[in-house]
Amino acid sequence: MEVVILPGSKQIGSLAADAIEELLRRKPDAVLGLATGSSPLPVYDELARRHEQDGLDLSRARGFALDEYVGLGPGHPQSYREVIRREFTDRVNIAPDHVHSPDGSAADIPAACQAYEDAIKAAGGVDLQLLGVGTDGHIGFNEPGSSLASRTRIKSLIEQTRRDNARFFGSIHDVPHHVITQGLATIMDARHVILIATGAQKAQAVRDFVEGPVAAICAASVLQMHPHATVMVDEAAASSLRLADYYRHTYDNKPPWQGL
Ligand code: GLP
């Protein structure tokens, strides 16, 4: 796990966009794992800017969302399918039928989860997965206690997550209780994972998953077992890390050929 401490969201957006641009140059039909929440927004903004101003081409790229609310209904503005369309895919030239998300309206949820796993596999797996982290250490919607071997499935949200996400809905009463999320093992199959965390409210979760034990109580800690995980944090989110100076020193002195 590489920890990169940057001054703010702008620099994080730019560095993560560099990794995606480099991937697309190498593999134009790359499969991107798309996260929602506010953390990846600077990356989407930067990719949209590069598409518009520098002609960054995503016409052959494919995308898979991490998770989805259950029961919001197609077209609901807070469904993650809509959020990803609004915040990212409508702003670049990725083909709409190349972008997939779990079907939160399916009558048969377990079948929809299996179909999602099958679709990721059929696409050749995720090349680069963007992630945020919840204040309780969740990734996707893998709440504390999620099996480290989990695959795409239905989960119940913890009250804290519903409170955190109420800002998008207006009221906590409108936040669904159930979600479909890629499992931790599904996420671990991605070839490269970039997790973004900004702000002091994430400092404890960042310390727990980067420097604490690998444990289901902090789902993101499973990334300690990932062969290529990059954690991009701002100074506030890094403020509780014990080894912050070491991470800074390592990144500042990294041989250029190593890349991200
Ligand atoms: C939601 C999403 C996660 C996201 C988390 C943090 O719960 N399911 O994928 O990482 O929120 O969101 P934010 O980046 O807005 O803090």
Q: Where exactly are the structural domains of the chain?
A: 2-252
Q: How far is the CA of 217 from the centre of ligand 1 (A)?
A: 17
Angular region, 94: left φ>0, alpha ψ -120 to 50, beta rest: beta
Reported pTM: 0.97
Q: Specify the CATH number of the domain 2-252.
A: 3.40.50.1360
C-alpha 33/C-alpha 43 separation (Å) is 13
In 3-state terms the chain splits into helix, strand, coil percentages (rounded to 5) of 40, 20, 40
pLDDT in tens, 129-147: 999 999 999 999 999 999 9
Given a contact cutoff of 8 angstroms between Cβ atoms, the answer to whether 139 and 224 are in contact is no
**What is the number of the ligand 1 atom nearest to the C-alpha of 35?**
9
Percent of the chain, pLDDT > 90?
A: 98
Pick the closest to residue 89 from 128, 132, 47 (CA basis).
47
pLDDT value at 239 more than 90: yes
C-alpha 260/C-alpha 128 separation (Å) is 12
Q: How far is the CA of 256 from the centre of ligand 1 (A)?
A: 32
